Amino acid sequence: MSMMSMRLPDELTNQLDALAAATGRTKSFLAGQAIRDFVERESWQIAEITQAITEADRGEFASDEEVNAISAKWQKHAG
Asked if pLDDT for residue 9 goes beyond 90, the answer is yes
What is the reported pTM?
0.71
pLDDT exceeds cutoff 80 at 77: no
In eight-state DSSP terms, residue 58 is T
Q: Is 42:50 a contact under the CB 8 Å cutoff? A: no
Phi, psi of 42 (to 5 degrees): -65, -40
Mean pLDDT computed over 36-64? 96
Q: 22-56 b/e with 16+ CB inside 10 Å = b?
A: eeeeeeeeebeeeeeeeeeeeeeeeeeeeeeeeee
